[in-house]
Amino acid sequence: MERDGLLCLTLACKSLILNLSENIDREDLYGIVNVLESSPNLEALTIIMRSAKSPQFCDWKKRHGYPKLKGSSHCLRQHLKTVRVINLVEKAHESEFLKYLLENGKMLEKMLVEVSKGGGEGRDISQLKQQLLSFPRASSRAMILFS
């Protein structure tokens, strides 16, 4: 499959673990959304936020602009049931990505969020929790749990 001049692979996995830098930028979401769109059978997604910044291989912002987190992939409409975020840092674009998953995850049953013990951009953890709980959900069964 090819999209926008890029070769896209289809992943047959039902479970996926993404190890990401906690310093990901908003434009990095483009690649994450591409992975979701390439994973039509995905049922469980785990996102582990690491403290070290990963090297950037491409500057997606310059090449493609910011990602448009609209519409949904096949896995979000048909299969994704569980999302687990480990070591979440309170950044606005991370909240935007979780909102995207909640708004488009029609089969989503559970979102488990473990908030980072360290820093962030100064937002209160209770404010982050309230924001996540206020997002609209495509699935009436979707629960958001915090630890």
CATH code at 128?
3.80.10
Q: Give the residue among 55, 58, 71, 62 at the shortest CA–CA distance from 20.
A: 55
CB 110 within 8 A of CB 82: yes
Q: Which two tokens stand for residue 64?
A: 């493609």
For the chain, the domain total comes to: 1
The pLDDT tens digits of the residues spanning 72-124 come to 566 667 788 999 998 887 666 778 888 888 988 899 999 999 887 765 554 56
- Please count the other Cβ atoms lying within 10 Å of the Cβ belonging to residue 97: 21
The whole-number pLDDT of residue 49 equals 79
Q: Is 15 inside any structural domain? A: yes
Q: Is 5 inside any structural domain? A: no
The whole-number pLDDT of residue 59 equals 45
Q: Is 3 inside any structural domain? A: no
Q: Is 6 inside any structural domain? A: no
Q: Is 1 inside any structural domain? A: no
Sign of CA dihedral 96, 67, 79, 46: negative
The pLDDT tens digits of the residues spanning 122-138 come to 456 788 888 899 999 99
Q: Which two tokens stand for residue 143?
A: 């629960």
pTM for this predicted structure: 0.68
Q: Is 2 inside any structural domain? A: no
